[in-house]
Structure 1
Amino acid sequence: MLVRRASIGGSVLPELVHEAADFAGIENTLAGAAPPQVVIHLAARVHLLRDSSSAPLEAFRATNVIGTLRVAHAAVRAGARRFIFVSSVKALGEVEPGRPWREEDTPAPTDPYGISKYEAETALAVLGRETGMEIVIVRPPLVYGPGVRANFLQLMRAIHRGFPLPLGKAHAQRSFIYVENLADVIAQCVTHPAAANRVFHVSDGVDLSAAQLALALGRVLGTPAWLWRVPLPWLAWLGRLTGRTMQINRLLQPLRLDIKQVRTALNWSPPYAIEAGLLRSATWYQESAETVVK
């Protein structure tokens, strides 16, 4: 298992530490490792609440495109038969085309993260055609579960502390996936013959609005969510005023994934209901609040 930092307390799998964000020198790190049959690539530069890079698109490309291709080329040289790339719903865009996104839809990413993910998908498809290595692309929505960070963690924190949230009218539906559901579908992609050279949209199979998510989290946290019914134009204005337009837009615009293709091709269904995933997330938060919140 290739990691940026060694796991605290060790890992059940052998770890190789490679610190370069663009995966330069990856061949040296992998020298002497057992040749892989399948490579699963999850590493990425992700959204930062405060990105200090002066050229964010190039910074995203360095890891998500150039770095991904370096790992993929190393996989080819090592004799891997299949490369599984965990992309993102953001490779499709920020706004759905009037219905849940399907795999055959033309992507239209708008932010540096999504652009870099789609560019990596495109480059991997070319590499697969040139080398014969099977490419599998998995596009998850927001991933949650124990250890979650960023906006999802902030939402749990606000609900747990009893803060009022202006989400009472935020009814736009969005897809989510519990981390163990994501792990399960990736495991299916490792061995299933029908996964070769396919793109799959994955989710929990149940979409929620920001208001529904907050209420569900309140139930599993044991602290009912306090939602204000703030008019949506006011929320949009608040986003502009605070410089958080992107975050507010995610509350106002639907972003759903159609997962019929992965259900049919791989005979896959999410093993964990969204309620179970939220409960496990809440349990982790309550047990770890003193360390993750500060």
Structure 2
Amino acid sequence: MTGASGFLGTHLLNYIRNEGFQVLGMSRSIISTNEYIYGDLLNINSLENACKKVDTIIHCAGYAHAFKEQSSVEGKKHWEVNFLGTKNLVEAAIDQGVKKIIFISTVKVMGEKTTLKKVSEDYQDEIVSDYAKSKKAAENLLIEVSNKKLIETIILRPCMIYGIGGKGNLERLVGFIKKNKVLPIFDTKNKRSFLHISDMCTSIIAVLTQHAESKNKIYVVCGNECLSTTNLIDLICSALNWKGINIKIPTFILKFFAFLGDSFERVFLKKTLFNSQILDRLTESACYSSDKIQNELNWKPTVNMKEGIKELVKSIK
């Protein structure tokens, strides 16, 4: 399993071992032991060594900075790690006789936003960020090698994954509210999907244990609920069991401050705490359906947002 030292990888290793699978975690920041092996996606020799006597690869490693506007350096890093790194891994896997690769992609390969209604695997909107473009290119590569019957592939497209130990936008929002005792109530009508880390892990277990059904398939993985930013703030407030200073911010005010943030960044070439990219995350919809994996592999998300947020609030100091 690549990315063994990351957020998903550390959780997933425990789940897989508890299911009785023999798994070797690969990371470029880990010294090889009985349970881990060194491997660098940009070092083909290390990948050849890591793939020896391996039946299945779970490819969790990647570089994620999914904003639309990025420096050329970050754009290059996305391409190197997410596409070229995956290409190197696939070549090493084929050379060493690996039978199957489970690739952890992202719903962002379907576009940066959706409608208010849930969308499934065949939905496609404009791909903007370098992160999504590099992941889409990696998906295309995997589809190509599977069509040539060189190796079996399964592609999982999770939405935003959250949970204990995560460092994403949801974890930062909870931390901000707990620290500042302020509840910013955004007047939005958007809908977004979320996925608890344990449900992400069980979806991968479902793929591992139902080989025939999942062969060469693509699955969106998400929870059953789609929440607005306002709904999300309400759940955090409920989990905290207190009322802070409620600041209801109309969307037009948010747009004004986002404009100021963008202008500051263009003039001073420095990042601000709030800009149009962050506004998009708060106001745009990203609502998905996991009906396909639920119907075909009998996988179900078990952690609802109320339970997940309560757990997350307790874990963040």
The reply to whether TM is greater than 0.5 is: yes
- Bigger drift between 245-254 and 32-41 goes to 32-41
Q: Structure 2 residue aligned with 1:57, among 54, 57, 75?
A: 75
Preserved contact between residue 142 and residue 176 of structure 1 (Cα < 8 Å): yes
- 1:249 corresponds to which of 277, 280, 286: 280
Q: Does 2:258 match 1:239?
A: yes
Judge conservation of contact 2:236–2:309 (CA < 8 Å) in 1: yes
Q: Report the equivalent of 1:16.
A: 37
Match of 2:131 among 105, 113, 123: 113
Q: 2:140 is matched with which residue? A: 122
Counterpart CA distance in 2 for 1:139 and 1:32 is: 25
Instruction: Name the amino acid aligned to 2:72.
Output: S
CA contact (8 A) 2:64 2:131 kept: yes
Q: What percentage of aligned pairs have identical amino acids?
A: 22
What is the aligned partner in structure 2 of residue 90 from structure 1?
108
- Give SS of 2:72's match: coil
Q: Which amino acid aligns with 1:116?
A: S
Q: 1:255 to 1:14 in 2, by over 3 A?
A: same
CA displacement at 1:30 relative to structure 2? 4.8
**Shift, 1:107, TM fit:** 4.8
Deviations, residues 35-76 of structure 1 (Å, cap 9, x unaligned): 222111111111178x98434332211110010111122222
1:115 partner amino acid: K
**Alpha-carbon distance in 1 for matches of 2:137, 2:50:** 31
Matched, 1:161 2:185: no
SS at match of 1:138: strand
> Is 1:2 equivalent to 2:26 in the alignment?
yes
Going from structure 1 to structure 2, the CA distance change for 1:122 and 1:225 (only over 3 Å counts) comes to: farther
Following superposition, the deviation at residue 231 of structure 1 comes to 1.3
Q: What is residue 268 of structure 1 aligned with on the other side? A: 299
The alpha-carbon deviation at position 131 of structure 1 amounts to 3.7
Letter in 2 for 1:41: H
Q: Verify the 8 A CA contact 1:214 1:225 in the aligned structure 2.
A: no
Give the counterpart of 2:87 among 43, 50, 69.
69
Unaligned runs of 5+ in 2: 1-24, 263-274
Q: Which stretches in structure 1 are left out of the alignment for 5+ residues?
A: 290-294
RMSD, matched Cα: 2.5
Cα 1:2–1:225 change in 2 (3 A) is: farther
Find out whether 1:38 has 2:89 as its counterpart: no
Per the alignment, residue 221 of structure 1 pairs with 240
Q: Give SS of 2:101's match.
A: strand
Residues 168/127 of structure 1: CA separation in 2 closer, same or farther (3 Å cut):
same
Query: Does structure 1 retain, via aligned residues, the 8 Å contact 2:114–2:287?
Result: yes
Aligned residues: 280
Q: Is the 8 A contact 1:162 1:226 kept in 2?
A: no
In the alignment, what sits opposite 1:292? none
Would the aligned equivalents of 1:103 and 1:200 in 2 still touch at CA under 8 Å?
Answer: yes
Aligned mate of 1:175, from 172, 178, 193: 193
Per-residue deviation, residues 246-278 of structure 1 (Å, max 9, x unmatched): 111111111111111111111111132222322
Q: Output one character per residue of 1:24-43: Cα deviation in whole Å (capped at 9) or x when no partner.
A: 22433552765222111111
Q: Which residue of 1 aligns with 2:153?
A: 135
**What's the offset of the Cα at 1:149?**
0.9
TM-score norm. by structure 2 comes to: 0.80
Q: Deviations over 1:113-162 (max 9, x none)?
A: 11111111111111212243111111111110011114222211121124
CA distance in 1: counterparts of 2:192 and 2:244, whole angstroms: 19
